[in-house]
Structure 1
Amino acid sequence: MTERIGDPGVRRQRSETAVAGKPYVLIGGDPDTAAWRVLLVPHSGAGAANARVLSPHLPPDWQLAAARLPGRESRIREPVGDLGTLAADVAATARALPGTAPLLVVGVCAGAVIALEAVRALQDSAPGLVAGLVTVSYWSVDRPPHTTRLLPDGDDTAELMAAVRGFGYVPEHVADDDMAHTYLPLIVADMRAVQDYRSGPEPVLTSALLVISGEDDPLCPPERVAGWAPFAKRTRQARVPGGHMLLVERPAELVGAIKANLDHFR
């Protein structure tokens, strides 16, 4: 019998009465004396703990915060929600962060879409809060990146598992059974929240936009990221060594690209 992620035992169970967990984690740095604050919105299925790979590469006077989205870590019993819900969650987190230093919102892969909509919302609700948006490993959202969808239609576990493993979201040493029960439903929920998202440049970002992509990323070749240019009044692109999973595999290069472009956000 074909197993599906909606079947009992595979579907992640969530309690409607669960108490909400903290929506972000502060990782290093003093927000009261920081020169820059960074809010990371991680890739599909990732929790706030994934941001820790950046810590060794950050300047000591940077404050790193990681968004903890619903469905993971201390918020594991909360439903993931749609794109609007996730973006509102990140916008609320940005407003709640301590400190007054310039804030960069960094969205990785699917997190780039959530971050984009969160920063757009903050332009109205908290003008001037965000100094810049950094999108990492994501194609321009004005057009589809492929002739096929990122995920197959339906809930067949084997097909979905093959698709998400192809993106590198789950380490190879994680067994398929563990992945099906622990990772897959969350990754699929995150990806489906953004995979049909399309947007034109309006409303144009008043803060600067930095688009970072890997030189060997088949999902983000130059022609697919070029379309980001009109999305902000000031847009810049940076290509770094690496593939699609820059946060996990190339954290030093990712931080280096942000540091090298700080003048873009001043």
Structure 2
Amino acid sequence: MSTDTTPGTSAWIRRFHTGPRGAPALVCLPHAGGSASYFFPVSRRLSSVADVLAIQYPGRQDRRREPCLDSVDALADALTEELRPLRGVPLVLFGHSLGATVAFETARRLEAEGAAPLALFASGRRAPSTVRDERVHLKDDEALIADIARLDGTHDQVLGDEEVMRMILPAIRADYRAAETYRYVPGPALTCPVTVLTGDADPHVTSEEAHAWRRHTTGAFEVEVFPGGHFFLNSYAPAVMTLIEACLRPT
């Protein structure tokens, strides 16, 4: 656990840089198998306009001895609790893949408690109300690793390191289970603006599934399409951060 006693810092929440006093908080939620460190470049770039908070799910890196949470509801419930010390601070949620669904469910909980976020950025994930029958989490390790490799978001040296893969596969499998077993429970739409980011060749998100996010907010809605697959944002990080920065900067 971090020794930083700043409100909003915990085993779940990591600050890599100090943001300006009174700035909104940008809460960044990683993909399946991802960790808070994935967002270090985001923090470095955007810490001049936001308090960048990178989320560390249990079961990985320095939290690897903690039990994984293998449902979106459990992750969103825990994160909502972790964000309570920040009540009164404007929040912008950014999630990629699994992180987008967790961000959505967290936004629902925050709005139900009267603490609606300023905005939600949903990257690399189909709309919550769209369903696919996916069961990769039930397959053996070899099939799970093959799916990870197909998405082209993990370095080959990591995939080829048996010891590293043995250490991280439990967290990846739990994250896959959370993403694949998630089912949207109908309820009030969000009121905050929603921006959807998607790759035009993402095997996990069609154009129709990306645009279906429209039904989940009464606020402003936009879809931004980038060239590439599921991890398009690795190639277009500067453009993605420019979009987020425009939301964070005061008008």
Q: TM-score, normalised by structure 1?
A: 0.80
Could you say what secondary structure the match of 2:120 adopts? strand
- 1:202 equivalent among 182, 187, 203: 187
Q: Which residue of 2 aligns with 1:171?
A: 155
Q: Which residue of 2 aligns with 1:128?
A: 115
Runs of 4+ residues over 3 Å off in structure 1: 246-249, 259-263
Q: TM-score, normalised by structure 2?
A: 0.84
The verdict on how the C-alpha distance between 1:242 and 1:257 changes in structure 2, with shifts beyond 3 A counting, is farther
Q: Are 2:19 and 2:52, in contact at CA under 8 Å, matched by a contact in 1? A: no
Give the unaligned 5+ runs of structure 1: 1-20
The verdict on how the C-alpha distance between 1:39 and 1:246 changes in structure 2, with shifts beyond 3 A counting, is farther
Equivalence map 1:179-258=2 (5 Å): 179-199=164-184, 202-234=187-219, 235-258=221-244
- Structure number with bigger Rg: 1
> Deviations along 1:167-211, whole A, 9 cap, x unmatched?
234211222413431222211110111212232652211222111
Q: Are 2:98 and 2:175, in contact at CA under 8 Å, matched by a contact in 1? A: yes
Q: Which of the two has greater helix per residue? A: 2
2:124 matches 1:137: yes
Paired AA for residue 25 in structure 1? R
Share of identical aligned residues, percent? Answer: 26
Could you say what secondary structure the match of 2:129 adopts? coil
Range with bigger deviation, 101-110 or 237-246: 237-246
Q: Which residue of 2 aligns with 1:17?
A: none
> In 1, Cα distance between the equivalents of 2:192 and 2:40?
26
> In 1, Cα distance between the equivalents of 2:77 and 2:20?
23
Could you say what secondary structure the match of 1:117 adopts? helix
- 1:112 equivalent among 100, 108, 112: 100
The verdict on how the C-alpha distance between 1:181 and 1:97 changes in structure 2, with shifts beyond 3 A counting, is farther
Q: Which residue of 1 aligns with 2:3?
A: none
Provide the aligned length of Structure 1 versus Structure 2.
239
Aligned Cα root-mean-square deviation (Å): 2.5
The verdict on how the C-alpha distance between 1:38 and 1:144 changes in structure 2, with shifts beyond 3 A counting, is same
